Amino acid sequence: MKKINIYIVLFIGIVSLNSCSSFLDVPPPKDQLAAEVAFADDQVATATVLGMYSQMNAYNNQFANGLLSFLTAMSADEFYYAFNFYDDFKDNNLSPNTSFLDRFWSQPYAYINHANKIIEGLQASNGVTENVKNQLLGEAHFIRAFCYFYLVNLFDGVPIVVDTDYQKNTLLPRSPSDEVNQFIIDELVLAEQLLDDAYTGQERVRPNKKAASTMLARAYLYQEQWVEAEAEATKVIQDSRYIILDSLHHVFLIDSKEAIWQLQTANTSTVGVNTWEGFNIVPFNPGTRSNYNVYEEALDSYEAGDQRKEDCLTTYELNAETFYYPYKYKRRTASPVVEYSMVLRFAEVYLIRAEARAQQNDLGNAIADLNVLRRRADVEELPLNLDQASVLAAVEQERRIELLGEWGHRWFDLKRTGRAVDVLSPIKTGFTASDLLFPIPLAAILTNPNLTQND
């Protein structure tokens, strides 16, 4: 059993003490007692934080363990469900009560609430040592920023919840997207200051300082703050712990040197599950039908000989026709576990820096960053005499191929660069600019009268 699971069990056992408080002469309020127990010392405070990651990757078809990657891949032009399901996402025909849409709202806010409890508990604690407190606070601020990044990019402006006052928070209106994006940057700057540069333990399942730098580089890129994006990306690229691996086959393994932050699957009810991505995509029997098919447009975008098509996709045959499906995660089940869900990885950092440099007209260095990934993929290096428009087009192409099916990158890239309507309308009937935002889920609208709906 991994150490993270031991801590989770420990935390559950400690929290259960809340029901056995009759021995106290003058018991404090139940919430206060729970906070005191959860942040009494380094060990139980750490268990409380590890419980946050357990929530994020414990069950199938949740926001943080494949569902977001799958459904945004369908909303874009990457891959789609092979059967008549999730069609509202594939056809960009979402309504406020579309199935699974609510998980993109309620689950990030649940993790944010967990992070808020951690921040409040640690700030009030006298039993946690300073170094551990800083690390745990950094992780909580990082997760809060991480969740808001996806909320704002899926829905635009959203309520900014920074405490555990339930009565106030359930009535908060949406903050404008520029305020949310600045909040994300502020949170990540703070997380970068608080987090230790070293990983806690032998694996990379808890964010460190460079994870915050990576998310900060991405946040700056999305806000077109090119100088800052380049600087944060360079911090990570200069760290010798991270390597662009020669073999694509090893990128998503537990011990991958390309991993900046991974999520360990915490659910033990499904025997041998490594990642929920692999569990859902890889067929039960090799060579049989997958649940997902890659769009023809995505297949056509690969250059001849690109090893990413050979290693990150694979095929099955049906009625004498060949279909491709994603194959970055190669284990449906396996014991012992050999793959973790990759949340942040080194290749993205090169892509961030390449784009930031290209936008500053530092074209030679931007091309050099792109060629790092192209050499690994065994495709011809880009020439150094490209103009800015050509380099930015090459960035879009490399991001499309390298990050296919990962964490909504393609969907968000098309939106933030203003390319979505031009790219998607020829292949999706009736696609317009009104399809760029997901609707606020009906349940959220019904429970908060101050929420407004997207057009």
Q: Report pLDDT for 266.
A: 81
Determine the Cα–Cα distance for residues 73 and 96; give it in Å rounded to an integer: 19
Q: Using CA atoms in the order 338, 344, 348, 350, what is the torsion angle rounded to 10 degrees?
A: -100
Residue with tokens 């689950």: 107
Determine the Cα–Cα distance for residues 377 and 387; give it in Å rounded to an integer: 23
Q: Report pLDDT for 336.
A: 92
Give one DSSP letter per residue of 278-294, joined into a string: HHHHS-SSTTS--SEEE
In the predicted model, is pLDDT for residue 3 greater than 90?
no
Q: Report pLDDT for 14.
A: 35
The residues with which 325 forms a beta bridge, in sequence order, are: 314
Q: Report pLDDT for 60.
A: 87
Give one DSSP letter per residue of 96-141, joined into a string: TT-TTTTHHHHHHHHHHHHHHHHHHHHHH-SSS-HHHHHHHHHHHH
Mean pLDDT, to the nearest integer, of 157-166? 97
Q: Report pLDDT for 34.
A: 63
**250-301 pLDDT, tens digit each:** 999 999 999 999 999 887 678 889 999 999 999 988 878 999 999 999 999 9
Contact 36, 126 (CB under 8 A): no
pLDDT over 90 percentage in the chain: 86
Give the tokens for residue 136. Answer: 């745990």
Domain boundaries, the chain: 3-265+341-447
Contact 366, 384 (CB under 8 A): no
Return all residues near 32 (Cβ < 8 A) that are at least 6 apart: none
Mean pLDDT, to the nearest integer, of 352-356? 99
**82-137 pLDDT, tens digit each:** 998 999 999 999 999 999 999 999 999 999 999 999 999 999 999 999 999 999 99
| Topology (CATH level 3) of domain 3-265+341-447 | 1.25.40
Q: Report pLDDT for 255.
A: 96
**358-385 pLDDT, tens digit each:** 999 999 999 999 999 999 999 999 999 9
Give the tokens for residue 188. Answer: 């990540």
The residues with which 294 forms a beta bridge, in sequence order, are: 79
Contact 79, 280 (CB under 8 A): no
Q: Which helix (H) or strand (E) holds 150?
A: helix 130-155
| H-type alpha helices, 16-91 | 30-38, 42-56, 68-75, 87-90
Determine the Cα–Cα distance for residues 170 and 451; give it in Å rounded to an integer: 10
